[in-house]
Amino acid sequence: MSDATNVNVWPCTTEAVDWSFDGIIALAADDSVELLFPNSDSSDTEQKAASWQHAPLQVSWFTSTELPEKEPAPIPIYSVGEELSTSSPLDIAWSPPGLAKHRRCALSVLTSGLALSIWSAEGDPRKSSSWKRRLVVNNALRSYFDKDAILNDSVVASQTGEKEKINEYDRLRTRVRSSTWAPALPNAEYTGVVGTESKWAQHMIAVTNEDNQVAIVIVESPTSTFGSEEWNAEVLDHFTVMPDSESIFTVPGTFDDIMGQQRCISHMAWSPWKIQGQWYHSIIAYATNNDVRLRIITYTPDTIGLGDEVLCPDLCLRHKGPMKWSPRIKDGDKLTLALFGIEGLTVLTVSMSDATILERKTHGLDGRWDKVSGVIWDDADSTPTRLHFSSLHSTMSSPTAGVEISSGGLIELPSPSWREQISDTQALFSAQNDLKGNAKSKVWGLCISPLRDFIAFCHTVHPSDMLEYGPPRDRNCHVALSSTTSYKKDRLPFPANNVSAEGIAFTLRKCLENTVENADQVPEFTKEVLDAMLRTYRPKQGGSNSDHGENYNTGDIAELTTSFKHDVFLEANMLKDRYTILINQTCSVKTPTTLPRALIAFRLAKAIVNMIPRSLAHSSSFSREILMSHHQVICLINAVTNQNDSTAPSTSITTMPNQSTPDSCDFCDAAIPFTDLEIATCLNGHQYPRCGLSFIAIQAPRISKFCGLCKTGFFSEEFVTAQEVTRNSDSDDLGDVETQTLGQSAANEDIEMPDVRHGEDQTSGPDEANHLAAKNLATETREQPDKDIEALIGPGKQDIITEGLPVSLARVLFLACDVCIYCGGKFLE
């Protein structure tokens, strides 16, 4: 099975392909990063040109504020990369999910200018204009090391005066040579979740500088901190790697001295985490000029522990590299590390308890002289562990491109399917250009899909007996996919760990193409998929009566969000209906999803009315409107089914008589009866979509987001924040009287709701003037959603948005449902 796309970049750089948790492939080019997006429309899968989209990011362009100009450094610390480089991308890596907006992955880009920056999308990630550089990690290193610049000597800096020495320290310690993201922290209670995390953890990245130091950096964003912080990077701790005495040259005199001087860590890799008591344990591996070293890392929120250094002798990775941990922990305490050095491939089995080497296996690399360009672990639970690797020039000429890890050693695999695809592309190139077989391929990198069922490989083809010429538009880099799974044996390759809905949808489309021959087999296929997903991704059993209920009385927004997610979003029946919608919309666009969507809405409304404390529901006028809308959902579905329990509605829900509603039309001021869960129609016929969480009509542009898979619309985070800022009123008797009955458990009674218009609060009292001003401001925010928040609330008051917000129903609802509640897809704007 092959799925390929061509990207007009030339050439591609080494080790520069990575596949994110939410399904985006990043590819580094000469001066940009290309982002590849699989088309979510299942009807386009047969059209290869439409099955992938791509957008370029100009990552090499820095402003003088982001990267100030620097004077030439002294000869001992002079760096061509820092001072003369065009800042081409050298390495790219996706963070674990949850850091960027809508809980997506952020992208780290290391350029040849020795600058490490973090990128994320603000709106639609498929548009280049949405992507912005959020921060430069070098600035965090500068802030951290400035505190003790003269306290530690450097074996790299020259022996000059104190002022000059401080300047040299600053230059050496802020140059980034390599980096690696920490894997996502595991959760002891929830190990298989689709689309989200039961509780998001901090994001960390390890970076090395040119003074033999490794720094552990925490990266925070408005998303990861519930809006309390802007994008920020802060060094949590660091350690210095002491080089051998033979690598220290006070005054390097020859070229050999300069090349032999130990001044940076060339390669790093961070192992998976394991929970041990109250701490998380993992191991960082890093390579000096002459050896490989290991160090245990222990972590608990905001606290890092560094273990003793363990030396791996007789392993030299210089000019070769890289290193790669297997994502699987074997026997509860064993990690596997692959190293590519001068002597060949070495696979180490490492103990997590003390980082000692338990076993060592080696395999030759067929005399390769070129650098290893890509490494991936193919370690599905149902198959033996395999390691695939490519080299820049000799992948097609060397017999070995993969090994299987067995108890007897490393067994060479037959030619994998991805290499056979490269061979076919090479033969086609030769035939099209009449080269008579004189063609060669360069393989620039490998990466594996989030569900670990596809390998993406990046390669270019060239003539081998002549100079290559032609217009730039003909110079394409091929990114192709190869399946690691035999669909006849294992049709449903679902790993038992957290995955994304986008990854599930991509895998299902490929399974459907390769296993289902006609439309009559689709219902059977979807049933098998649903059963498999319920077995694998069912982290919670039972209803909403969980042990997390007492946390609703806390004032901690993080605890409230986690509790609501456990009790409602990840409830077993909600998961079944969500998987049903995801499978149906992926495999058959004709299958109706009205019933499971109505069930999800009904359970959500009942949970809001019955579980949320009165203080949260009445903390703001916007929260009270949401509560009233959820009560209308219950009344509507109960009226359709004529039942007073949670039995599913069995008929259309679009023919109900008018009911009282808190919503009114902003265009004509007419009432909007609550007769449909998805469409709001006023009495004069104006129609608006309803928010999928609050069920309030979305009546203005640019205040909403939508699911990238099922296209359901929701209020955006910015709009919810603006409502909380501008409509946060004091507790008042009238507001309590209007909504007092809504917090009672008799939610199934058909109660006529008071007519409270959206955007208004029926309050009065000594603060009436302030209330009227807030009401007008709320109206202005809604009518002018594109207007800057600062212009509305006044300069210098942005902190109100994050620090002054109440802990309310609205915030808990929209923070807990950080992916689509109907299918689990990520949001777009």
pLDDT bucket at 773, cuts 50 / 70 / 90:
very low
Summarize the confidence of residues 351-378 as an average pLDDT. 92
Evaluate if residue 345 carries a pLDDT over 90: yes
Which of 469-483, 663-677, 683-697 shows the lowest mean pLDDT across its residues? 469-483
* Distance, CA of 374 to CA of 749 (rounded, Å): 62
Residue type, 621: S
Summarize the confidence of residues 640-651 as an average pLDDT. 53
Summarize the confidence of residues 121-139 as an average pLDDT. 93
Tens digits of residue pLDDT in 79-104: 878 888 888 899 999 999 999 999 99
Summarize the confidence of residues 220-226 as an average pLDDT. 92
- In the chain, where the domains are located: 58-186+200-249, 592-821
What sign results for the dihedral spanned by CA atoms 503, 504, 510, 513? negative
The full length of the chain comes to 829
pLDDT for 71 equals 79
pLDDT for 67 equals 84
Summarize the confidence of residues 665-677 as an average pLDDT. 91
pLDDT for 381 equals 63
Q: How far apart are the first and last CA of the chain?
A: 33
Evaluate if residue 24 carries a pLDDT over 90: yes
Evaluate if residue 488 carries a pLDDT over 80: no
Evaluate if residue 683 carries a pLDDT over 70: yes
Evaluate if residue 168 carries a pLDDT over 80: no
Which of 8-12, 163-167, 313-317, 684-688 shows the lowest mean pLDDT across its residues? 163-167
- The strand ranges marked E within 288-435 are 292-300, 303-312, 323-325, 334-341, 344-351, 357-363, 372-378, 386-391, 402-406, 409-412
Evaluate if residue 403 carries a pLDDT over 80: yes
pLDDT for 160 equals 53
Evaluate if residue 800 carries a pLDDT over 90: no
Evaluate if residue 721 carries a pLDDT over 70: yes
Query: DSSP letters of 163-232?
Result: HHHHHHHHHHHH---EEEEPPPPP-SS----BSS-SS---EEEEEE-TTSEEEEEEEE-TTTTTTSS-SE
pLDDT bucket at 612, cuts 50 / 70 / 90:
confident
pLDDT bucket at 51, cuts 50 / 70 / 90:
confident
* Distance, CA of 390 to CA of 394 (rounded, Å): 8
Which of 276-290, 313-327, 644-658, 794-808 shows the lowest mean pLDDT across its residues? 644-658
Mean pLDDT computed over every residue of the chain? 81
pLDDT for 187 equals 83
pLDDT bucket at 736, cuts 50 / 70 / 90:
very low
Evaluate if residue 486 carries a pLDDT over 80: no
Evaluate if residue 278 carries a pLDDT over 90: no
Q: Are 617 and 627 in contact (CB under 8 A)?
A: yes
* Residue where the block lists tokens 């359709």: 640
Planar angle of CA 609, 612, 616, nearest 5 degrees: 120
* Residues ≥6 apart with Cβ < 8 Å to 89: 13, 16, 28, 29, 31, 32, 33, 59, 60, 109, 110, 111, 112
Tens digits of residue pLDDT in 491-528: 677 888 889 999 999 999 888 888 888 888 888 889 99
Which of 544-548, 666-670, 675-679, 801-805 shows the lowest mean pLDDT across its residues? 544-548
Which of 139-153, 224-238, 553-567, 747-761 shows the lowest mean pLDDT across its residues? 747-761
* Distance, CA of 130 to CA of 479 (rounded, Å): 23
pLDDT bucket at 477, cuts 50 / 70 / 90:
confident
* Distance, CA of 105 to CA of 119 (rounded, Å): 9
Evaluate if residue 50 carries a pLDDT over 60: no
Most confident of 160-174, 347-361, 635-649: 347-361
* Distance, CA of 176 to CA of 141 (rounded, Å): 9
Evaluate if residue 790 carries a pLDDT over 90: no
Q: Are 815 and 809 in contact (CB under 8 A)?
A: no
Tens digits of residue pLDDT in 32-45: 899 999 876 544 44
pLDDT for 779 equals 43
pLDDT for 565 equals 92
Q: Please classify residue 745 by burial: count the beta carbons closer than 10 Å to its beta carbon, then call 0-12 exposed, 13-18 middle and 19+ buried.
A: exposed
Which of 175-184, 211-220, 427-436, 774-783 shows the lowest mean pLDDT across its residues? 774-783
- 3-state SS, residue 156: coil
* Distance, CA of 412 to CA of 321 (rounded, Å): 20
How do strand 52-57 and strand 33-38 relate by DSSP bridges? antiparallel
pLDDT bucket at 356, cuts 50 / 70 / 90:
very high
pLDDT bucket at 14, cuts 50 / 70 / 90:
low
pLDDT bucket at 164, cuts 50 / 70 / 90:
low
pLDDT for 739 equals 37
Most confident of 222-226, 780-784, 797-801: 222-226
Residue type, 247: S
pTM of the model: 0.87
pLDDT for 292 equals 92
Summarize the confidence of residues 357-381 as an average pLDDT. 89
Number of helical H runs and strand E runs in the chain? 18, 34
**Percent of the chain topping pLDDT 70:** 80
Which of 215-219, 249-253, 774-778 shows the lowest mean pLDDT across its residues? 774-778
pLDDT for 817 equals 95
pLDDT for 780 equals 44
pLDDT bucket at 551, cuts 50 / 70 / 90:
low
pLDDT bucket at 741, cuts 50 / 70 / 90:
very low
Q: Are 645 and 741 in contact (CB under 8 A)?
A: no
Tens digits of residue pLDDT in 243-275: 777 666 666 677 777 777 777 888 899 999 999
pLDDT bucket at 357, cuts 50 / 70 / 90:
very high
pLDDT bucket at 564, cuts 50 / 70 / 90:
very high
